């Protein structure tokens, strides 16, 4: 094994060695924001306002996290309730978007029903509209359905995800029709074909859709601001916005805000690291025709 490694290293020419060094330095440079977020959350109050800002922390402390979780101790709704709402709303949204997008992409790709091209073109057309343009219709729908102050209010308005449908359809298109026909000839029903053949083959797309949906849902404050009048149904990003509201809070609560920023960022990082191999496979597979 050592001989093989030495042979591989000997095959690397000078240009490749320089390229490896440059890429390594670039990777270290790109890690600086991550290090800053972690260090900033551990800084005591007097280090938070040092100019120019320091990447490192000299006197690390957990006081910012203690302040964050005791900030709402005198209020009716504790910060843990906001976190719980964010976890539930995000999990439901990710699961719902993946299921709905896959169920939409499969018939559009493999069942040439009348009007399927028009329906897919309509889905692509919706990509041109900014989310603000559907804010009022979305509010009216949620209000008429009576799902204000409900977890469905966090979930239902975001189930229709055109980008997710488009991405999954492109992957389903590459699943061989002969494989599906062979499964049906062996007695597999439509649901069995979809669940046991199509879904495993498009797992890179499922992982990518999950990451994109998670990032959008975890940091989304629109449902809390528009659809939730009950404070106990609002999410952690909304709570973070409220503690920073006003010039006085932006200074006095800077420590709690630094800790909250890390709490808000960490799930995104962990979720991406968990699915990063699938995302890389998505990028590689998308370039193979």
Instruction: Assess whether 168 and 38 both reside in one domain.
Output: no
**Angle, nearest 10°, between helix axes 254-286 and 162-173?**
30
Instruction: Assess whether 120 and 156 both reside in one domain.
Output: yes
Residue of 217, 224, 231, 227 lying closest to 136 (CA atoms): 227
Mean pLDDT to the nearest integer, 136-148: 85
Instruction: Assess whether 234 and 91 both reside in one domain.
Output: yes
Q: What is the span of the domain harbouring residue 130?
A: 76-286
Least-confidence region, from 38-42, 242-246, 256-260: 242-246
Mean pLDDT to the nearest integer, 108-123: 83
d(CA 225, CA 222): 5
Out of 68, 94, 115, pick the residue that ends a domain: 68
pLDDT tens digit sequence for 213-255: 888 888 888 888 888 888 888 888 888 777 766 444 555 667 7
pLDDT for position 248: 44
Instruction: Assess whether 63 and 81 both reside in one domain.
Output: no
Instruction: Assess whether 113 and 151 both reside in one domain.
Output: yes
Most confident of 85-89, 125-129, 157-161: 85-89
What's the mean per-residue pLDDT of the chain?
79
- Per-residue pLDDT at 2 exceeds 60: no
One-letter-per-residue 3-state SS of 189-205: CHHHHHHHHHHHHCHHH
- Per-residue pLDDT at 5 exceeds 70: no
Instruction: Assess whether 233 and 102 both reside in one domain.
Output: yes
Least-confidence region, from 40-49, 94-103, 124-133, 159-168: 40-49
d(CA 223, CA 110): 35
Least-confidence region, from 5-19, 54-68, 98-112, 241-255: 241-255
CATH number at residue 205: 1.10.3720.10
Instruction: Assess whether 126 and 219 both reside in one domain.
Output: yes
Instruction: Assess whether 88 and 15 both reside in one domain.
Output: no
Instruction: Assess whether 173 and 197 both reside in one domain.
Output: yes
Mean pLDDT to the nearest integer, 160-187: 84
d(CA 220, CA 186): 46
Instruction: Assess whether 145 and 38 both reside in one domain.
Output: no
Structural domain count of the chain: 2
**Would you say the C-alpha torsion 207, 263, 238, 146 has a positive or negative sign?**
positive
């Amino acid at each position: 094994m050592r001989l093989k490694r030495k042979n591989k290293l000997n095959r690397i020419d000078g240009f490749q060695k320089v390229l490896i060094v440059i890429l390594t330095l670039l990777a270290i440079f790109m890690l600086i924001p991550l290090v800053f977020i972690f260090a900033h959350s551990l800084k005591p109050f007097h280090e938070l306002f040092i100019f120019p800002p320091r990447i490192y922390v000299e006197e690390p402390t957990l006081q910012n996290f203690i302040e964050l979780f005791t900030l709402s101790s005198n209020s009716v709704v504790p910060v843990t309730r906001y976190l719980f709402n964010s976890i539930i709303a995000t999990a439901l949204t990710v699961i719902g978007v993946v299921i709905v997008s896959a169920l939409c992409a499969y018939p559009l790709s493999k069942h040439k029903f009348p009007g399927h091209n028009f329906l897919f073109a309509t889905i692509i057309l919706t990509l041109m509209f900014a989310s603000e343009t559907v804010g009022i219709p979305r509010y009216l729908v949620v209000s008429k359905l009576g799902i204000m102050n409900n977890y469905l209010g966090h979930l239902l308005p975001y189930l229709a995800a055109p980008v997710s449908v488009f991405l999954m359809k492109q992957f389903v298109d590459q699943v061989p029709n002969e494989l599906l026909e062979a499964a049906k000839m062996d007695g597999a029903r439509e649901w069995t074909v979809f669940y046991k053949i199509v879904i495993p083959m498009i797992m890179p797309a499922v992982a990518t859709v999950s990451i994109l949906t998670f990032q959008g849902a975890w940091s989304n404050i629109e449902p809390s601001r528009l659809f939730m009048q009950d404070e106990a149904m609002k999410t952690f990003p909304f709570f973070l916005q409220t503690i920073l509201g006003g010039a006085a809070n932006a200074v006095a609560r800077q420590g709690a805000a630094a800790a909250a920023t890390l709490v808000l960022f960490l799930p995104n990082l962990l979720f991406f690291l968990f699915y990063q191999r699938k995302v890389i496979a998505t990028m590689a597979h998308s370039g193979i025709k």
